A and B are shown apart, each in its own frame.
Chain A
Amino acid sequence: MWQKSRPYILILPSLIIIVTIFFGGLTLGLLQSLGLMGIGGDSHLTMNAYRQLILSKDFINSLALTLKVALVSSVLSGVLAIILVRVLFILGENRKTAIIRKVFQVPMLVPHVTAAYIIMLLFMKSGWISSIAYSIGITKSIEAFPSVVNDPNSLGIIITYIWKETPFIMLMVFPIISRIQDSWLEIAQVFGARRQEFFREVILPLILPTWISSVLIVFAFTFSDFEVPYLLGITYPKFISVYSYNMYYNGQLSERPLALAANFILAIITAMLGIAAYKLIKIRDFKEVRW
C-alpha cells in the first residue's frame, strides 16, 4: 500500500497548494464571472458577462492591441536572438565571446518595473535620446522627437520586451548548441563547410523546436503582463491585464464579473499557448533520442 501511494504522498503538498490557490482561484473567478457567488447574494447562472465583453468595443480593441504587441515583441525578440546566437557561433567559443554572452544576460536580471522605467528614461520626449538628438541638431525642439513612450503604437512597450526577452530566448537556445559535438563541425569542415553553412544546415534545424517554444512562452508572457503596459501604455485602448484590473478595482461591483470574465479568457488563451509549447518540446526530446 505504502509503495503504491508513495509517489502521490510526496507530490501531495505541492499539489494541494497549486490546486487550491491557483486552480481554486481560476474556478472561483469563472464562477463569479458566470454570475454565481455574487456579492449581493443574487446568484444565477448567466453568460451575460461574456456576451457583454464580446459585444464591447473596448474589450475587442484591448484584445487586438494586446495580441498585436505580444506577437510583434515575441517575434522580434526571437529573430534578434537567432541573429545574436548565429554571430556568436560564427565567432567561435573563446574568452571574449564567453564574456559577451554573459553581458547579454544582464537585462534578464532587471525586474520588469525597472526595465520599463529604464526604457522610459531613454525614449520619452524629455529623455536621454531626445536630448542627444537636440544637442547634435537632429531635432529642433522637444516636440519634434517622436512619441515612443505612451504612444498609440506601443513602441516603448515593444522595445522593453525585446530588451528583456531576447536574452531569455538566447539562454534557452544556447544549451542545445553546446551539446552539438565538435566532431560534427570538424567533419563538416573537412567537407569544406564554413561555420556559416554549418549553422544554417545543422544548427538551425536542431534549435528550431526550442526556438519556437521559447517564442511561444515569451508571447504568453507579454500577452498577460501587467507592469510594463501599465507604465508605458496609453489610456485607450488598454492591455487586457490593465483593462481587467481597472474594471475590478476602479469600476463598480457590477463590473467585477466582466473583469473576471476577461481574466478567464486570458487564462484560456495562455493555457492553449502553453500546451502548444509543451508539444513542441516533446518533439524536440523525441528528436534528441536519435542524435
Chain B
Amino acid sequence: MVKLTMKTHSKVIYYITIGVLLVAFLLPFIPLFINSFAYDFRWPSVITKNATVRALKYVFYENSSTYESIFNTIIIAISVVVIDILLATPAAFSLVRYEFKGKVIIKGLLFAPIIIPSFTAIMGMYVVFLKLGLTESIYGVILAHILPTLPYMIMALMVSYSTVDTALEEQAAVLGAGPISRFIYIILPHILPGMVAGASFTFLISISQYFLTFLVGGGKVSTIAIVMFPFISGGDNAIGSVYGVLFSALAIINLVLIDFILKKYYKKRKFKII
C-alpha cells in the first residue's frame, strides 16, 4: 500500500513536469491569436476587451496581394513537389537496389544540401541566374527550392523502397510482367505512403522559405513569407499576426490532410489483403 502511493506520487510529479513544459511550448501561440483580432491591443493589456476584424479585413479584403501570395506559395510548393518526385523516384530506387562504384560519394553529394545551407550556393549562382533571366522569376524560385527539398524526398523514398519484398517482383516477372507494369502494380503501391510523406515535408520546407525566395525573386515573386515580412519586422502587429496564423494554418492543414490520406490508404489496403 505504501509502495503504491509512492508510485502514484512520483507519477504525479512527472505529469506536473510534462504539463508545465507543455504549457510553456503552447503559450507563445496565445499573443499571436489575441493580436490578430484584438482592438487596440497595447502594453500593458493582458487580454483584449474589444474584438475587431480590422486586420482580417485588411489581409483578406483590402490587400489584394494576399491572394496572389497564397496562390504563388502553393503553385511553387506543388511544382517543387512534382519535380522532386520525378527526380527522386528513380534515384532512390537505384540507391536502394544496386551496389555500384562511387555510391557513397554520390549519396554524399545528393544529401549535402541537408546540412550545407542552399543560400550559399544560390548567392554564388546569382550571376548565372541573372544572365538566364531566372531572377525575379517564379521559375528561378522553384529551381532554388528544389535544392533544400530533394534530399528529403530521396530519403523518404529510400525508406519505402527498402521495405518492398523483391520476391513479389520476381514472381510478377516470371508471370510475364514487364518492368513498367511491375513498377505500377507492385512497387508504386508500396512506395506511395513514403512518397506522400516526402511530399508533405517538401511542401512544408518550400512554403517556409523566406531567404531563398527573396534572394532569387528579389521581392518580385510574392509568397506569403515575403508579403508578411514587412509587417512583422516592425510593422503592424495585428496584421503581422493574421499573416502568422494564416501561414501556420497552411502548414498544419497540409499535415492533417496528409495524415488523413495515409490513414485512408492503409485502411483500404487492409481490406484488399483480407
Which listed residue, B108, B143, B241, touches A21 by the CB 8 Å rule? B143
Partner-binding segment picked from B29-37, B167-175, B263-271: B29-37
Q: Is the CB of A113 within 8 A of B232?
A: yes
- Give Cα A121–Cα B240 distance, bound, in whole angstroms: 10
- Give Cα A14–Cα B252 distance, bound, in whole angstroms: 29
Q: Is the CB of A226 within 8 A of B211?
A: yes
- Identify the 3 closest CB pairs spanning chains A and B, nearest first: A29-B124, A25-B121, A274-B115
Chain A interface secondary structure, helix, strand, loop or mixed?
A: helix
With A18-B110, A267-B117: A25-B91 Cβ-Cβ less than 8 Å = no
Supply 12 A–B pairs (Cβ within 8 Å), ascending by A. A15-B110, A24-B124, A37-B127, A87-B14, A91-B14, A103-B26, A106-B26, A111-B208, A113-B210, A128-B30, A131-B43, A134-B44
A77-113 interface bits toward B, Cβ cutoff 8 Å, 1 = contact, 0 = none: 0001000100110110000000010011011011111
Chain B residues proximal to chain A, CB less than 8 Å: 11, 14-15, 17-18, 21-22, 25-32, 34-35, 42-46, 86-88, 90-91, 93-95, 97-98, 100, 103, 106, 108-110, 112-125, 127-128, 143-144, 146-147, 150, 154, 204, 207-208, 210-211, 225, 228-229, 232-233, 237, 240-241, 244, 247-248, 251-252, 255
Nearest CB in chain A to that of B118: its residue = A22
Chain A residues in 8 Å Cβ range of B116: 22, 26, 224, 267, 270-271, 274
Q: Is the CB of A26 within 8 A of B94?
A: no
Asked if A236 CB lies within 8 Å of chain B CBs, one says: no
CB distance from A157 to the nearest CB of B (A): 14
Chain A residues in 8 Å Cβ range of B120: 25-26, 29, 224, 263-264, 266-267
Q: Is the CB of A91 within 8 A of B211?
A: no
- Give Cα A40–Cα B147 distance, bound, in whole angstroms: 30
Additional A-B contact list (13), CB under 8 Å, known A112-B208, A121-B241: A11-B90, A15-B91, A18-B113, A19-B109, A23-B121, A25-B122, A25-B124, A28-B128, A104-B25, A117-B241, A121-B237, A128-B46, A264-B120
A259-283 interface bits toward B, Cβ cutoff 8 Å, 1 = contact, 0 = none: 1100110110011011001100000
- Give Cα A1–Cα B152 distance, bound, in whole angstroms: 31
Nearest CB in chain B to that of A125: its residue = B43
Complex interface residues of chain A between 223 and 276 (CB less than 8 A to chain B): 224-227, 230-231, 241, 244-245, 248, 259-260, 263-264, 266-267, 270-271, 273-274
- Give Cα A118–Cα B34 distance, bound, in whole angstroms: 12
Chain A, interface residues (CB within 8 Å), range: 35 or more
Q: Is the CB of A259 within 8 A of B123?
A: yes
With A100-B18, A270-B115, A273-B115: A24-B229 Cβ-Cβ less than 8 Å = no
Complex interface residues of chain A between 151 and 187 (CB less than 8 A to chain B): 163
- Give Cα A172–Cα B115 distance, bound, in whole angstroms: 16
With A28-B124, A84-B18, A244-B123: A122-B208 Cβ-Cβ less than 8 Å = no
Q: Is the CB of B115 within 8 A of A90?
A: no
Partner-binding segment picked from A2-10, A41-49, A60-68, A202-210: A2-10
Q: Is the CB of A23 within 8 A of B146?
A: no
A126-149 interface bits toward B, Cβ cutoff 8 Å, 1 = contact, 0 = none: 111011101100000010000000
- Give Cα A26–Cα B103 distance, bound, in whole angstroms: 22
Chain B residues in 8 Å Cβ range of A110: 248, 251
CB distance from A112 to the nearest CB of B (A): 6
Which listed residue, A8, A23, A120, A277, touches B109 by the CB 8 Å rule? A23
Nearest CB in chain A to that of B232: its residue = A117
Q: Is the CB of A248 within 8 A of B123?
A: yes
- Give Cα A235–Cα B112 distance, bound, in whole angstroms: 31
Nearest CB in chain B to that of A16: its residue = B87
Q: Is the CB of B146 within 8 A of A17?
A: yes
